[in-house]
Amino acid sequence: MSEIRVKAIKPLPEPLPEGEKVLWQDSPAWKPFSRRVFQLDKIALYFLVIVAWVATSAYLETREGIALLRSLAWSIPPALGVLGLLAIIAWLYARTTVYTITTRRVVIQSGLALPSAVNLPFRKVSSADMKTFTDETGDIELTMSGPRLLYSMLWPNVRLLRLKRPTPMLRALEQPHMVAEILGGALAADQPGDSVPAQDSEDLESGRRRAATS
């Protein structure tokens, strides 16, 4: 296991209160981030099917190779352009997104034109659940109590399409087990009497054990 990242890679919006310190800070891995947030792989498959259908139809209609080449010439560039644009946007979002775990809270900093920071104090975290994937990255989902959070403020670091009660997520973590261990320990240490609610410890531990694949 590599060393825990404790050196700040992006300053927090405000100085931490006395006695609070940063335990971990990092950005999501952009390739899995692009797949799970922007669905880049599914969109690429969609374009592949469309291009194949158009090219096949053109060839069957004329039985001429030139028709096949022409259909590919006008259908492939737009598809590549859209995919390239989405990949760039995904890369920019991943590079400008920073997750921070302190001894008292989780902070999500994200945004391109209008950067924002969402403060998630541990006292509002009712449960945390980790899911890992075949590429060895993982997501940690935080279920919050208290007032409803704005989906627009959390996106893209939120469970997709859960609009009624948006759920913050730490996405595309390169070392999800390590982050889960840090978060679980911080949650436990922040509880009165050094006892962590069963949901927090069980969810993170079950996530580590099952390493659910997708």
Q: pLDDT by residue (tens digit) across 43-62? A: 999 999 999 988 888 788 77
Residue 121's region, left for phi above 0, alpha for psi from -120 to 50, else beta, is beta
Q: Is there a contact between 35 and 15 (Cβ–Cβ < 8 Å)?
A: no
Q: Are residues 121 and 198 in the same domain?
A: yes
Residue ranges making up the domain that contains 140: 22-28+97-210
What is the tens place of the pLDDT at every residue in 153-212? Answer: 999 999 988 888 899 999 999 999 999 999 999 999 987 654 444 344 445 544 444 434
Both 192 and 156 in a single domain?
yes
Mean pLDDT over 20-40 rounds to 95
Is residue 16, in this structure, part of any structural domain at all?
no
pTM value? 0.80
Are 205 and 103 found together in one domain? yes
Q: Is the domain of 138 the same as that of 187?
A: yes
Q: Report the pLDDT value the prediction gives residue 147, as an integer from 0 to 100.
A: 85
Predicted confidence at residue 45, as pLDDT, reads 96
